[in-house]
A and B are shown apart, each in its own frame.
Chain A
Amino acid sequence: MFNIIEKRNIFFAISIVLILAGIIAMIICGGLEQSVDFAGGTTMHINMKNTFDNQEVADLVKETIGKEPSSVQKAGDQQAEVIISMQTIDTETRNKLFEAFKTKYSLEQEDLLSVDNVEPTVGNELKFQAFLSTLIASILMLVYISFRFEFKSGVAAVIALIHDVLIMISAYAILRIPVSTSFIAAILTILGYSINDTIVIFDRIRENNKVMRKEPFADVVNTSIWQTISRSKMTSLTTLLTITALYILGVPSIKDFALPIIIGLIAGTYSSIFIASPIWVMWREAERKKKLKTA
């Protein structure tokens, strides 16, 4: 039986490297990419019906509204759809822009697949909301776990949660994916999932601790992790199956939601085993040593 607790520094290092890579990516690129939801802006998803040239689309936008679009992406199965993002423009200008597309590419009104326009103030409120809800959810979970287990385990579990969120953010920073409202929902989903995962292991530790009194806490934890590992594998596999099916088959807005969940699921499973449990052990051992010294 491989001793996870003994080798904990390796696992901590893996996480720290990933998170540092994310931070470096953020520093280089000046923060996270933000979608229209957060930064404010206008996005249009248009069915062009035929293949088209991105540059030509960008030029048409510039010509019509006087500003360069911030991105022009191809989408759809045949790559015959375009998603254009730009700074926020008002309703008259949006109308004018789509009219220009209609004329140039002979489109119908129904070819405007979707439009999103968000003022920057709305984006800031969303960011605040996201921060607040993550914070509140974490505090409530800390309280619940402290009550059901002990305070140390609550803190260990919440550190694992923060780890998951940081990994998700890092993945977005490194892959340059814009964060959106879906990202927030994904983060909170992962908070719920990862804590569930951690609790299953902690529950086993709580139970084993009663029967393995004489053994050191580190061994109890290591045994508990191995006893629950097939469950950890199975559950993350079933959840990954459903969410990956959504990611592969879904429309762009569903993909936006499925991707951070997939990353979070992996991070959450990892952190329950390799982060939360070792931290609980470290704290307990540190406390025991202190007691021994004073005694």
Chain B
Amino acid sequence: MMFKSLTKFLVVILLIAAVAYVAFNGVTLFGKTIPSALDKENGIRRGLDLVGGSVITYEAQANKVTEDDMNTVKDVLRQRLDAMGYFEATVTLQGEKRVRIEIPSISNPEEAVQQLGRTAQLQFIDSEGNVVLSGNEVADAQQQYGPLSQNSASEHYVALTLTDEGAKKFSEATGRIKDKPEGQNYIAIKLDEEIVSQPRVQTQINSKECVISGSFDAESATWLANLIRSGKLPFDLKDIELRSVGPTLGDRALETSLYAGAIGIALVMLLMLVYYRLPGLIADIALCGYIAIVMAILGAFRVNLSLPGIAGIILSIGMAVDANVIIFERIKEELKAGKTLRASIDAGFHRAFTAILDGNITTLIAAVVLWKFGTGPIKGFAVTLSIGILVSMFTAIVVTRFLLKQMDGLKIRNTKLYGA
């Protein structure tokens, strides 16, 4: 019986150690690697406030904006970010007429704000650099799918509609360009200063409708159509919000938060041990399990962790201990009332359960509301807080209970050890 309890106790400790090891160091098994949660590339994503970077929000300066327009804006911004070398930047639409850009490790945010927000310059030029068409002479551009001639197979292409003026110019230019030698018989489509597409001209085009075909798939055709439409966007973009953190401050923020976290955890553990003795030790073991599991989850789901997120985790550690505090206080009372250890543990957990459950559900309600209505870093805080609450219910109730029962099995029953 005692041997069994000891084995169970050690197995749990080993399990916690294993989870902690995998979460903090990563592991390679049978050629497959589970990355460490601390891994910069594959582990927890670090928020821009931790690595340094800028978040820029632009707003379309118009009363009404269509979804198509905003998708165009998104593609134009993507194109510009790539042209500037910010391949890791993300572009997301926010609400009806806003777009949010996150650029990691950027040295001069104002330069980016200005470059990204400028009005799109779309031009069609020939091989000599003459401007054939400009953006406002294109009425529309759409991605389409179908056969281009009677006998050909279906393919993706971009259908252009030109204005009357544009059609005239285009007819003249294509007539001229089609006769040029191979290698010069093209029209380059330039967005800002970048060439985004360079279709060959095979015949003179005498219509307002024309197509750009090539080896497009649905995505690349949509992308090109969007970029071409950007030349006629009926609004400007205004930078309404900029949040930029330099890499030095980011590093310092991460370092000090982790340091503060470590000190906080150490103090909490010490306090639990001194105040509750043996159960305190068990709670500390469960707390280690809690930290390991939270890290593993954050790493596995690649949660984006920003400063408020770290604050959420550190706060949840304090709250994780709460469930144990409620239980241990209960066990103490039962022991003082003269019950056996076994009965006290059972009664303690049983009676504390409703309080823990109700308390955690209401905290979860607050976290969910934060997640739903908050933006950016506040959302991150809500996510880590929720994860923290759920995991803490598991470690503080299931793990602690299991370990405490083994203590009873090991016949460690001196009530003084349990603080009674």
Contacts and interface: CB of A to CB of B under 8 A. Distances in A.
A236 to B, nearest CB: 9
B265 A192 contact: no
Task: Identify which of A116, A121, A245 gathers the most chain B CB atoms within 10 Å of its CB.
Answer: A245
Contact of A243 (B114, B315, B355): B315
A122 B375 CA distance: 12
B114 to A, nearest CB: 5
A181 B417 CA distance: 46
Name the residue among A90, A200, A207, A242 with the largest chain B CB count within 10 angstroms. Answer: A242
A27 interface: no
Nearest to B268: A238
B273 to A, nearest CB: 12
Contacts of B326: 200, 231, 235
Q: How large is the interface on A (under 10, 10 to 19, 20 to 34, 35 or more residues)?
A: 35 or more
B175 interface: no
Contacts of B363: 192-193, 195-196
A241 B268 contact: yes
Q: Specify the main secondary structure of chain A where it touches its partner.
A: helix
Interface in B148-204: none
Interface in A229-273: 230-231, 234-235, 237-246, 248-251, 253-254, 257-258, 261
A209 interface: no
Contact of B114 (A91, A206, A248): A91
Interface stretch (B25-33, B83-91, B251-259): B251-259
Q: Which of the listed residues A98, A184, A231 has the most CB atoms from chain B within 10 Å of its own CB? A: A231
B315 A189 contact: yes
Interface string A85-120: 000001110110010000000000111111111110
Interface string B115-133: 0010000000000000000
Interface in B363-413: 363-367, 369-370, 372-375, 377-378, 381, 385
Interface stretch (A4-12, A15-23, A134-142, A282-290): A134-142
A263 B398 CA distance: 32
Contact of B359 (A200, A237, A253): A200
A122 B355 contact: no
A185 interface: yes
B212 interface: no
Given A110-B246, A195-B359, A243 B318 contact: yes
A196 B362 contact: yes
B362 to A, nearest CB: 4
Contacts of B381: 185, 189
A227 B334 CA distance: 12
Contact of B329 (A144, A231, A240): A231
Contacts of A250: 253, 256-257, 260
B271 A254 contact: no
B341 interface: no
B58 to A, nearest CB: 11
Interface in B235-249: 238-249
A9 B9 CA distance: 51
B252 to A, nearest CB: 6
For the complex of A and B, the 6 pairs showing the least CB-CB separation, nearest first, are: A239-B318, A242-B264, A192-B366, A192-B363, A196-B359, A203-B355
Given A114-B244, A192-B362, 5 more contacts: A92-B110, A192-B385, A228-B329, A238-B268, A242-B318
10 contacts: A113-B248, A114-B244, A115-B244, A140-B365, A148-B358, A184-B374, A189-B385, A235-B319, A244-B264, A261-B315
Interface of B: 49, 57, 107-111, 113-114, 117, 238-249, 252-253, 256-257, 259-261, 263-265, 267-268, 271-272, 275, 307-308, 311-312, 314-315, 317-319, 321-322, 325-326, 329, 333, 351, 354-355, 358-367, 369-370, 372-375, 377-378, 381, 385
